Amino acid sequence: MIYNGGGYYLLGKYSKHSKTLTLFIIMISVFVVISIFLPGKFLTIRNFQSMFSQIPEFGLLAIAVMLAMLTGGIDLSIVATANLAGIGAALILTKFTFPQIGGYEELLTIILAITSALTVSLICGFLNGILVAYVGVPAILATLGTMGLFSGIAIIITKGYGIIGFPEKFLLIGSGTIFLIPVPMIIFILCALVAVIILNKTTFGFSVYMLGSNPIAARFSGINNENILIKTYMMSGLFSGLASIIMISRVNSIRPGYGSVYLLQAILVSVLGGLDPSGGSGSISGLIMAIITLQVLQSGFNILSFSPFFKKIIWGLILILVMVLNFYSAKLSQKSIKRLKTN
């Protein structure tokens, strides 16, 4: 009896950590293989800096998708939200001027732009949350609709043109470095830490996981599902907004539709990172390992100058391969549970 109990416990531990462990091994081996095959080209400070400047905006969007997927939903509107928020900020940065107050007006404009971008993204997330929680629309449809709506508003505002040319101080957010570390990376690490703390150390985070694994049980255990869902989608919106600030400041422009490839890649990375698409399980650490793996591969492919189409094949294959591996590992652990039971 006791042995069985111990066995179950160990198996539980194993299956909980096996995904993270597999990912870790994959990440390290990809890193090692690329370093060996591309000597002197991969392990350079410049290459790492370029990787570090690409990870944040994409990583923030991936966290946004992940949050929605943890509740068993999905957020297809992240890139549209980011675009709309970015356009809001860009309009303020280019059109709005404070009266002269001793050299601080540029700073004030930047602060106002960032605030408005985050507000826009929160409103977008709030709308998603209302639709999913109170109206009861399946998340994939609600966010499909709002994706059209947000990108539509973005196109109407800009008439499809890009907005370019921001103040130089604003560009530091996207391209500055502190002790050789790009600023976006620092922002990303801080945001990821906040997300980890919220998900793992707060009641809200626990409720998100519970809601994702079984909404009915969550409801009966006294969780206000609607409230949690709205907050989650607002958080998802907020992360998209943060991504948009980094994005527009890195490329010094914004146009509607920018970064639309990120949507599918963000879902891909979430699933690679061990997130259960039906909700309730997944961790930021897994997500980050998946992002790093992909980025290392990406930069390796760039050095080898692979065509973007060939990369597309590899992303798809990796996604499917990981899912097939997950299938076999789940089967294996089920078998060993059975064996334990018969013993």
Partner 1 sequence: MLKNNRRFKVQKLLKQNELYLFLVIIAYSIFITSINSSFLSLENLFDLGKSSAGMGIMAIGVFIVLLSGGIDISFTAIAISGQYIAANVLIASGVDNIFFAFFISCLVGVALGAINGLLISQFKIPTLITTLGTASVFHGALLTIVGTKAINSAQLPDCFKVFGAKNLLILTKPNGVNYGLSIFIIIFIVLALLTWLILKYTMLGRGIYAIGGDINSAVRSGFNVAKIQLFIYCYVGFLAGIAGVLHISLIRYSNPTYIVGTELSVIAAVVLGGTRITGGSGTIIGTIMGVAMVTILNNSLILVGLSSYWHNFFVGLIIIMSVSITSYQSKRSIGNIVFRR
Least Å distance between CB 88 and partner 1? 16
Alpha helices in the chain (DSSP H): 2-37, 45-70, 78-95, 105-130, 139-158, 168-175, 183-201, 203-213, 215-220, 225-251, 261-272, 284-303, 308-342
Judged by CB under 8 A, does residue 192 bind partner 1?
no
CA-to-CA separations, 120 to 4, 50, 158, 281, in angstroms, rounded: 54, 29, 16, 29
Residue owning tokens 């540029």: 106
Q: Of 34-42, 89-97, 154-162, 284-292, which part binds partner 1 (CB under 8 A)?
A: 154-162
What is the C-alpha radius of gyration for the chain, rounded to an integer number of angstroms?
22
Q: Which is nearer to partner 1, 49 or 214 (CB)?
A: 214
In sequence order, what are the beta bridge partners of 164?
Answer: 253
CA-to-CA separations, 75 to 142, 269, 270, in angstroms, rounded: 9, 14, 12
**Out of 320, 332, 334, 339, the residue judged to bind partner 1 by CB under 8 A:** 320
Both tokens of 121, joined, read 């993204």
Judged by CB under 8 A, does residue 305 bind partner 1?
no
In the window 90-109, what residues touch partner 1 (CB under 8 A)? none
Q: Which is nearer to partner 1, 92 or 318 (CB)?
A: 318
Least Å distance between CB 329 and partner 1? 12
**Out of 139, 187, 251, 297, the residue judged to bind partner 1 by CB under 8 A:** 139
Judged by CB under 8 A, does residue 271 bind partner 1?
yes
Cα 331 from Cα 193, distance rounded (Å): 33
Least Å distance between CB 14 and partner 1? 21
Contact between 163 and 32 (Cβ < 8 Å)? no
For binding to partner 1 (CB under 8 A), which residues are involved? 71-74, 76, 131-132, 135-142, 144-153, 155-156, 159-160, 215-216, 219, 225, 264, 267-268, 271, 277-279, 307, 309-317, 319-320, 323-324, 327
